[in-house]
Amino acid sequence: MTTEKQYRVIGTRPVRPDGVDKVTGRAVYGADVTLPRMIHGKILRSPHAHARIRGIDTREAERYPGVLAVVTAEDLPDVDVVLAVGEGGDVNMRDASHNIMASGKVLYQGHAVAAVAAVSPHVALEALKRIKVDYEPLPPVLDVRKAMAADAPLLHEDLFTDTMGQRSEHPSNIASHLIAEEGDIEQGFREASVVVEREFVTHTVHQGYIEPHAAVAEWRDDGQLTIWCSTQGAFSVREQVAQILKHPISQVKVVPTEIGGGFGGKISVYLEPVAALLSRKAGRPVKMVMDRAEVLAATGPTPGTYMKVKVGADAQGNITAAHAYLAFEAGAYPGSPIGAGCTTVFAPYRLKNVRIDGFDVLVNKPKSNAYRAPGATQAEFAAEVVMDEICEKLGMDPLEFRRKNGAKEGDWRPFGPPYTRIGAIECVEAAQASEHWKTPLVKEAGSSRRRGRGVASGYWMNWGGTSSCTGRLNPDGTVALLEGSTDIGGTRASIAMQFAEAFGIAYERVRPQVVDTDTVGYNDVTGGSRVTFGTGYAAYALAKQMQREIAAKLAAIWEVDPESVTVEGDRYSAGDKSVNLVEAANLISEQGQQVVTSVTTTPHNRSGAFATHIVDVEVDVETGKVEILRYTAVQDVGKAIHPSYVEGQMQGGVAQGIGWALNEEYIYDENGSLRNASLLDYRMPTALDIPMIETILVEVFNPDHPYGVRGVGEVPIVPPPAAISNAIYDAVGVRMTTLPISPARLCAEIMAKNSARA
Amino acid sequence: MAISLMSGKVTVSATVNGEPTEWLCEPRETLLEVLRDRLGLTGTKEGCSNGNCGACSVLLDGRLVNSCLVLAVETEGAEITTVEGIRGEKGLTPVQRSFLEEAALQCGFCTPGFIVAATALLQANPSPTEEQIRWWLAGNLCRCTGYDKIVRAVQKAAAEMRGEA
Amino acid sequence: MKSFEFVNPASLRSAISTLASAGEKAKLLAGGIDLLGEMKDYIQQPDIVVNLKTVPGLNRLTADRRGLRIGPLVTLTEIAEHPVIRANYTALAEAAESVGTPQIRNVGTIGGNLCQRPRCWYYRDEAVVCLKKGGSVCYAVEGENQFNAVLGGGPSWIVHPSDCAPALIALNASVEITGPQRRRVVPLEKFFTLPTQNVLQETILESGEIVTQIIVPAPAAGTRSHYMKVRHKESFDWALSGAAVMLQLRNRRVAACRVVLSGVAPIPWRSPEAEAVLRGKAVTPQVAMQAGQAAMAKARPLGKNAYKVPLTRNVVKLAVLKTAGV
């Protein structure tokens, strides 16, 4: 069922309100902020992946001409508080504090050990070279399976494995072991006529936002701390900084600038507390901007993994059992998205017998962080490749298999309530009906080129979260809409559209602004695909509340019962009196009154977003190069408020998924040094690497939202790696179970297959 | 070019966005640093600082270049155009307007670089094919859009500039 | 970057004498694509940077019956777009066009492309004092050598990153080198040095010497050339493997040929083995395949770059077939 209501604003494609600033270079991002007397901070980072810090001598740096402050972990208080940080879930701020400035031990190459503020970035970098750190190197642990071994060197002597509430006897690099079970998988595998079990390895991958992290901090003499930063969540930054620095939250104000991409990686703080400390010591505002090498080495990439998936199906093609073993590299501190990996791995399917084991494992790599549907891409890569093999063995069409076994409302899922209204099967059916699927693919394309087609499904949860917004009715009937959700992808527009729809006015008469933590109520982060849903929900609630307030004020002016005032579009009427919004605004201000309204909402969003993708690839068997010929992304979007931005989210997620599938990986040497900490050797797709991406928007109304909105931003990154692996199998008969599928790896597999045949 | 022996700084004169401009800088400062930190033109962005992302793209004597790999002192006497200098008669150029209408930006950080690159492209080739557009824009990374709407925006702007729209 | 003095020489003489007298303390700036990147990473830390672009006359490109005369400051874009080079020296145009991105090609020069330093990530890491930087170990040998050499390697295992050099060698180019005492013309093949000769450099340039011209003789009748490059990404990226092939065909047979590889050796790697297979023959897929096999017969892969062997075999085959028009 698709949404049938006709909307005035929703579903149209207006220009975003911040657009002119962004195409003219006027928009202000973190690194563009300049304050009087501002100085510049830089961070000294560990060359070792694992070492004890025996001592840090900063005296020469402190004396270096042009240096105004130097800080180390000694300048940070001890903290021990657990906070929910965005989609990362609970994070102990002690770990967050040690992550941004190492204390006692360095746990990954690039781990911050000291910071300097000086009159210019060049001087700051020179001063860093004058800091002497005495390290005692320790053996690093760089592979998730090795880290899980009983004799592995430990990152934390005081970390024990939590297995569903039970603590292990001995310390370990395994922070937690999650288990989800339903039915009896042994019985289920016995009932199966085909069983497939495969192992998978994926490498660490970075969100790859083009804008490096940037922050400016000003610590004033009266203790007021203001931070300007590129962040996905100003309120989260405020809370993290207040906790890490043990500074009252009432004295911390965070001003979110425009943000050049986040994808989950700009929720945890890295620079902000350090800049604040430097500012306090120097008595000047401090700007800190990361360079690309720091971004890659020392922020929060998504985990590399080792996974095993086993699935059984009967001769009719029903899944009878499924088992997933997922081990995720959390990096230097606990908190990989293993929970989400477990929740999503088999999400597109209705399962009777299933067991999922998930492991959060520490290794000497940067602490992992959220990356667009965190954990799902890895887990569903493994599951969707195995499903493809099941279909092959059954001789069953892969889309038909997904339709037959597709999850429906009421089906079980791990770690959460059953599904509500979802569009898994609708997506599969739309894929089956697509022009792409119906267009036959010619396999042979020259002597050395083979073409193939693959499909994969994906799922990501939606999150409601808390959003606040404030509306102010201007005398001319326009509305200033203050919200706190940083606009990464056009959400000012989609929020304003929902407000305009609910309030009965034109989109152009809404002036949305993203404001700081002093100016609007609490907002959860821009992430988790929640803003169009959650902040839109708040905007809808705000519109309704403002209508009620206008009605009440008019009732007082007209001396009628408030219940008798009706609202139709932008018209307010009672009896024979009727005014439009502009007239109402004037009447109210003539009384010396204003309509300024704030709401905070925390709606339930029990829904999720499903996607099914189809890809055609061409493999050059002599070079291992894979070309994407055609890509179609089908996704259940609930209701597309602004279809262009929904399409944009889908296309962007697909592009990242293609990079993940074919090119992107962190390459660590045996010492734990990241060898490819540059965009030269960390290879992200260019305009020549990706074709046009077709999008098919399926709209299955989400009952938790007045306009049926589902979060759309994350799920599109999930299917591409599996779809591409499946397409490569269709083309050349080799199943790629390691990501990325680089030319070298694919070439080696093709050659191995050919010599096995020979 | 005058050299100040005391501080090691150098005076450089160039034309920036059509205006004669003079600044003082160290030889080690790149054109990108000078544009952003000395001239206040923060529209040009730093993404990687070694020529691997194109966010710092400007026009130097009409050529599309990465300003992070040009020393400011090399630009004596040159004509530099940044995104701030790309303006139409009535505000936005067709390229800028098409980017907005086609939703060819999400976070907007790579957008100034693309606007400069696309503007240079259409000056050199008013009727580019899709392949030619991708070729010209292959030096600009975007992480948000997957390039689809960017290519469409350039096609639309080209058509408008040819009088076909 | 470290602070430095910026010098704008008014003449070639002045540039050469500044370089010669400052020795290791001075570096030459052409387009800056390589040097500035190295300086930002503290791989090069010169006290003096000599701006070659203020020396007049070094950016001229002439194409006539005798051949090409290319100044070192001619940009890669100019070379890629030059109609005569595209038509008659195709490998060079294709090589130039394959470098980097439009932004890089608009600034990067042919001289810089030939003289650029390696992209090995051990070499480019400030914290690693490898063999090429005066240390005692080539870390690629036991380390992450996915992108290191399979031919001619040892004691250093870098691959030469230039695309234009193999193409120019395939076209029988020479370089004119001007130094404090003399001017010499050297076949481009002899311009590059193996690590066994001098591990600290990749070229024969001595202190104060500058490449002042690249000379390419006009091709004989029936000559065709192509440059084929396989890389991860279709832009920005270095060759995983590349081959420049020049074939002079007479009566459909190969009268003369050159096969030069990129991405596999510390220098642009001319392959007499592949050439021997091709000479005198009509090019067929079989012959092309044999040429590829011959080219890689002596390859010695390291732990992680064995894929370069079959890949390069195939690249040679494909480049030969394309050049022969098969």
CATH of domain A19-26+464-601: 3.30.365.10
Neighbours of C23 (CB within 10 A): 9
Tell me: the pLDDT tens digits for A712-754? 999 999 999 999 999 999 999 999 999 999 999 999 899 899 8
Give the tokens for residue A403.
């339709």
Asked whether the beta carbons of residue A32 and residue B86 sit closer than 8 angstroms, the reply is: no
Whether the pLDDT of residue A37 is over 80: the answer is yes
Any A CB within 8 A of B44 CB? yes
Tell me: the pLDDT tens digits for A503-548? 999 999 999 999 999 999 999 998 878 899 999 999 999 999 999 9
B3 falls within a domain? no
| Average pLDDT of chain A, as a whole number | 95
Residue A45 half-sphere exposure, CB side, CA atoms within 13 Å? 25
As for how many domains chain B has, the answer is 2
Cα–Cα distance, A504 to A547 (Å, whole number): 10
Write down which residue in B45, B62, B83 finishes a domain.
B83
Among the partner residues B44, B48, B92, nearest to A25 by beta-carbon distance: B44
Q: In the CATH hierarchy, which top-level class contains the domain C1-54?
A: alpha beta
Cα–Cα distance, B45 to B112 (Å, whole number): 8
What are the per-10-residue average pLDDT scores of chain C (326 residues)?
95 97 96 97 96 97 97 98 98 98 98 98 96 96 96 97 98 98 97 96 97 98 96 93 97 96 98 98 97 98 94 96 95
B88 falls within a domain? no
Percent of chain A with pLDDT over 70: 99
Sort C42 into a burial class: Cβ within 10 Å, 0-12 / 13-18 / 19+: middle
pLDDT at A3: 46
Tell me: the pLDDT tens digits for A405-435? 999 999 988 887 889 889 999 999 999 999 9
ipTM: 0.96
A616 contacts: CB under 8 Å, gap ≥ 6: A436, A441, A451, A452, A453, A628, A629, A630, A631, A727
Q: Domain C223-324: give its CATH superfamily.
A: CO dehydrogenase flavoprotein, C-terminal domain (3.30.390.50)
C103, closest residue in chain B (CA to CA): B65
Q: Are C91 and C68 in contact (CB under 8 A)?
A: no
* 3-class secondary-structure state, position A111: coil
Q: Are A49 and A672 in contact (CB under 8 A)?
A: yes
Cα–Cα distance, B6 to B55 (Å, whole number): 34
Any C CB within 8 A of B77 CB? no
Tell me: the pLDDT tens digits for A203-262? 999 999 999 999 999 999 999 999 999 999 999 999 999 999 999 999 999 999 999 999
Cα–Cα distance, A652 to A655 (Å, whole number): 5
Q: Which residues of A627-666 are buried (b: 16+ CB within 10 A; e: fewer)?
A: bbbbbbbbbbbbbbbbbbbbbbbbbbbbbbbbbbbbbbbb
Cα–Cα distance, A90 to A94 (Å, whole number): 12
B132 falls within a domain? yes
Owning domain of residue B136: 94-161
Residue ranges per structural domain of chain C? 1-54, 223-324
Give the tokens for residue C119.
């992209």
Cα–Cα distance, A434 to C41 (Å, whole number): 50
Cα–Cα distance, A347 to A412 (Å, whole number): 9
A695, closest residue in chain B (CA to CA): B148
Whether the pLDDT of residue A463 is over 70: the answer is yes
Whether the pLDDT of residue A1 is over 60: the answer is no
Contacts of A685 in chain C (CB under 8 A): 233
Whether the pLDDT of residue B165 is over 70: the answer is no
Any B CB within 8 A of C7 CB? no
pLDDT at A527: 85
Q: Are A180 and A166 in contact (CB under 8 A)?
A: no
Strands C241-250 vs A174-182: parallel, antiparallel or unpaired: unpaired
pLDDT at A4: 56
Tell me: the pLDDT tens digits for A688-702? 999 999 999 999 999
3-state percent breakdown (helix, strand, coil) of chain A, nearest 5:
30, 30, 40
B73 and B123 in a single domain? The answer is no
Cα–Cα distance, A629 to A354 (Å, whole number): 36
Average pLDDT over residues A654-672: 97
- In the stretch 155-194 of chain A, residues with CB closer than 8 A to chain C read none
Instruction: Kindly report the backbone phi and psi dihedral angles of residue A331, in degrees, each rounded to the nearest multiple of 5, phi listed first.
Output: 90, -150
Tell me: the pLDDT tens digits for A549-608? 999 999 999 999 999 999 999 999 999 999 999 999 999 999 999 999 999 999 988 888
- Please identify which residue in the block is written with the tokens 């005081």: A158
pLDDT band at A84; cut points 50, 70, 90: confident
Asked whether the beta carbons of residue C4 and residue B27 sit closer than 8 angstroms, the reply is: yes
Q: Tell me, which fold does domain A305-462+605-757 have in CATH?
A: Aldehyde Oxidoreductase; domain 4 (3.30.365)
Cα–Cα distance, A77 to A81 (Å, whole number): 12
Task: Assess whether the region A33-138+211-260+266-298 and the region A305-462+605-757 belong to the same CATH fold.
Answer: no
> Testing the interface with A: which of B109, B121, B133, B135 to mutate, by most A Cβ within 10 A?
B109
Give the tokens for residue C30.
């052409």
Among the partner residues A623, A688, A744, nearest to C234 by beta-carbon distance: A688
Percent of chain A with pLDDT over 90: 91
Asked whether the beta carbons of residue C285 and residue A447 sit closer than 8 angstroms, the reply is: yes
Average pLDDT over residues A640-650: 96
pLDDT at B6: 53
> Testing the interface with B: which of A15, A18, A23, A228 to mutate, by most B Cβ within 10 A?
A23
Q: State the CATH architecture for A33-138+211-260+266-298.
A: Alpha-Beta Complex (3.90)
Tell me: the pLDDT tens digits for B54-92? 999 999 999 999 999 999 999 999 999 999 999 998 799
pLDDT at B7: 65
Average pLDDT over residues A616-638: 96
The CATH number of residue B24's host domain is 3.10.20.30
pLDDT band at A2; cut points 50, 70, 90: very low
Say whether pTM exceeds 0.80.
yes
Whether the pLDDT of residue A481 is over 90: the answer is yes
Cα–Cα distance, A664 to A689 (Å, whole number): 13
Asked whether the beta carbons of residue A122 and residue C1 sit closer than 8 angstroms, the reply is: yes
B79 and B17 in a single domain? The answer is yes
Tell me: the pLDDT tens digits for A355-385? 999 999 999 999 999 999 999 999 999 999 9
The CATH number of residue B138's host domain is 1.10.150.120
Higher pLDDT, A218 or A3: A218
Handedness of CA A88, A90, A93, A99 (dihedral sign): negative
Cα–Cα distance, A640 to A663 (Å, whole number): 31
In degrees, rounded to 5, the angle at the alpha carbon of residue A667 between the alpha carbons of residues A661 and A669 is 155
* 3-class secondary-structure state, position A614: strand
Residue ranges per structural domain of chain A? 19-26+464-601, 33-138+211-260+266-298, 305-462+605-757
pLDDT at A91: 84
pLDDT at A415: 80
Q: Which residues of A223-239 are buried (b: 16+ CB within 10 A; e: fewer)?
A: eebbbbbbbbbbbbbbb
Average pLDDT over residues A167-187: 96
Strands B79-81 vs B10-16: parallel, antiparallel or unpaired: parallel
CA-to-CA separations, A299 to A29, A265, A292, C226, in angstroms, rounded: 19, 8, 10, 43
B38 falls within a domain? yes
Cα–Cα distance, A138 to A90 (Å, whole number): 29
Percent of chain B with pLDDT over 90: 92
B119 and B157 in a single domain? The answer is yes
Give the tokens for residue B139.
């030096």
Cα–Cα distance, A676 to A8 (Å, whole number): 50
Tell me: the pLDDT tens digits for A339-356? 999 999 999 999 999 999
Cα–Cα distance, A155 to A167 (Å, whole number): 17
